[in-house]
Structure 1
Amino acid sequence: MEIFETCQEINGLLSVRNEMAARNLLVRLLAELDRTNTPYPHVVNHMIRATGLFPYLQLESASWDEKYVHRAF
């Protein structure tokens, strides 16, 4: 699964307000990244935040505002 192409697809789903499909695709991407032990690129943390799946933020690669949102959640 290509990370950036998948994030682009997730963003497209979010832009047409198909949040459920975007979350499902993101969860599959996260499972693949975990399976291959791949650190999340910043764009993946952004997609996590955009879909509201805050518990899945990878804090090691998160920006300060993503860390704040994670802590607040």
Structure 2
Amino acid sequence: MARTNISRAKKAGNNRNQRTNKSAKNNAWPPSSIVILILIILGLLYLAIGIHWLYFSKAARATYSPGSAA
């Protein structure tokens, strides 16, 4: 009887540990991956807007000066 109780306790303990680990992993992964994806997308948008703003500001200055002279 003692052996069966010990084996049952071990199985119950293993199941409890696996459930807590799985729930922690499942709760941790989707928010972190979503946050990382949002940060990457926002970073790319920030770079794209900055590059286009600098490029078009230089292009506007280059096309504006001959237009004002003429």
Return the TM-score normalized by structure 2: 0.29
Higher helix share: 2
Return the TM-score normalized by structure 1: 0.28
Structure ranking higher on relative contact order (CA contacts 8 Å, 6+ apart): 1
